[in-house]
Chain A
Amino acid sequence: MSNASTKPKAGVPNPLQWLGSATLGMLAEIGRLSIFTGKTIGASFSPRWYPAQIIRQMIAIGFYSLPVVGLSAVFIGAALALNIYSGGSRFGAEQFVPNIVVLGITRELGVTITGLMLAGRVSAGIAAEIGAMRVTEQIDALKTLSANPFRYLYAPRFLAGILTLPILVLIADIIGVMGGWAVSTMGLGFDSTTYLRNTVDFLTWEDVTVGLIKAVVFGGVIAILGCYHGDKSSAGATGVGRAATFAMVGAAVLILAFNYLISTLLVDFGS
């Protein structure tokens, strides 16, 4: 058989070949990302550390994300309260607004919204910064100056991610609940004291810890996806732009997937 017959003609892609190469490409990518993750975690939990870099990243990732996290949480909490009130009123269950708002915020929405907002703000930002360092040879320069990029660049971002996300989520939880409270007391006729008492009485530690465990995982995902795509960024403005896009999209999808996975593992479905 001639060689030509095994190759698809130009412009007419063979769907099986496309599927095969896409699958292989995806497996190779998962492999590379796993190795990168292993190296980053290894560097994060063994000396030497760069404390100044960790603090700098905690400020960049944590502190400067407060406005976006706070604003997102207050609107989500407010909208949630409105929807539960409207939906609940169909079967006379309006009084459950505080309970469902606090459950929805602490278990799901607080952490998911924080994670998704930070996938945009932080993951893409890290990818662009590391990508720019890659294409201007700063990462090579680090190595020639005897600094390991995994220790100097990636571990501080990873540690800052897993340490600050739980704090941000806790703040998002509180602000989200307060958003629901504000709408309920000002617009829906709830009594402020009763609303808050219902919230606090209904809330269990488990609801909060499930959210915080998710936050730690999401913090790691956000940092690692940013570092990974920045590190393998190709030259030029397009290369860095693509790195930022891939980091943001990858982090967002992984956050939603891990959210489901952790819920499956941690939520008690028993009686």
Chain B
Amino acid sequence: MSSGPLLELKDVHKSFGPKQVLKGVNLDVSPGKSLVVLGGSGSGKSVMLKNALGLMTPDQGQILFDGDDVTHDQGKTREAMRARIGMLFQSAALFDSLTVWENIAFRLLNSDGLKRKEAKERAVESLKQVRLGSDVADLTPAEISGGMQKRVGLARAIVSKPELIFFDEPTTGLDPITADAINDLIVEQTKALGAAAISITHDMASARKIADEIAMLFEGKIIWRGPASEIDHSGNDHVDQFVHGRADGPIQPAL
């Protein structure tokens, strides 16, 4: 592994028709570090994440993974990159035609060619790490609660021991207690793997808990970045308004 950043976005632009969503995003995360990107509704957080993952291609700019330009990678090289990355989707995005354990072991079964017995053992082990018992392994995603789905999504993201994990609004739609438990699990599991993490959220409690560093995305650009401990003394009006959740200030509420 190179000593530079694990993932780097350089001057990334993305538009949809006339609407410019990303207007030159520069961002990087070092191995083992947790970066949280804050941003309001419609600030382009999800689009940024999809570009970083290669689910969208930037109109302009570069994505570097472990020093290699992966902006326009396709096929095998793209899959090789994704094999080193885990992703927890906002809605967990579990496959509802598969059982919980088949969801967790999806990559092990379909890409890594593990036998079903071995894959199931790995999946149950991963379930244990997110504090779920082996009794849920044979249920379908529709049979478990939203909080449990998030845990299963996390188990799926960590099962193949990735170097980088993306978290898309990991606490959205959860009650504060469940959200806190998910935050704890995220910190615990990324630390245990020594993985880097990029999370996007608008939940300040979550950001404070899981971030080493915080960046703020506003109108398609990163307008502030600093250590998590400085978030209350950023000296930036936009960040202050967001941190304190005020409707008045430089950021107009997205109504």
Chain A residues engaging chain B, CB cutoff 8 angstroms: 50, 133, 136-138, 140-147, 152
Q: Of residues 63 to 93 in B, which have CB atoms within 8 Å of A's CB atoms? A: 79, 82-83, 85-87, 89-91, 93
**Contact B82 A144, beta carbon cutoff 8 Å:** yes
| B94: chain A residues within 8 A (beta carbon) | 138, 141
Cβ contact within 8 Å between A136 and B106: no
Q: Residue among A140, A142, A145 with the most chain B CB within 10 A?
A: A145
Residues in B neighbouring A143, C-beta threshold 8 A: 54-55, 82
Q: List residues of chain B with CB under 8 Å of any chain A CB.
A: 50, 53-55, 79, 82-83, 85-87, 89-91, 93-96, 106-107, 110-111, 156
Q: Please tell me if the beta carbons of B110 and A144 are within 8 angstroms of each other in the complex.
A: no
Quick one: closest B residue to A151, CB to CB? B110
Alpha-carbon distance A143/B89, docked complex (angstroms): 12
Q: Tell me the smallest distance from the CB of B46 to a CB of chain A, in Å.
A: 10
Known contacts A145-B82, A146-B82; is A152 also within 8 Å of B110 by CB? yes
- List the A residue with the shortest CB-CB distance to B160: A145
Q: Are B111 and A146 in contact (CB under 8 A)?
A: yes
- Within 8 Å by CB of B93, from A50, A138, A147, lies A138
Interface pair A137/B93, CB less than 8 Å apart = yes
Name the CB-closest residue of B to A53: B97
Contacts of B53 in A (CB 8 A): 140, 144
Chain B residues with Cβ below 8 Å from A142 are 95
Q: How far is the CB of B122 from chain A (nearest CB, A)?
A: 14
Least Cβ distance of B78 to chain A in Å?
8
The answer to whether B110 touches A145, judged by C-beta atoms less than 8 angstroms apart, is yes
Chain A to chain B contacts (Cβ below 8 Å), 17 pairs: A136-B93, A137-B89, A140-B50, A140-B53, A141-B93, A141-B95, A144-B53, A144-B55, A144-B82, A144-B85, A144-B87, A146-B83, A146-B107, A146-B110, A147-B106, A147-B110, A152-B110
Cα distance, A140 to B53, chains bound together (Å): 10
Candidates B50, B85, B95, B107; contact of A138 at CB < 8 Å: B95
Q: How far is the CA of A233 from the CA of B202 in the complex (A)?
A: 27
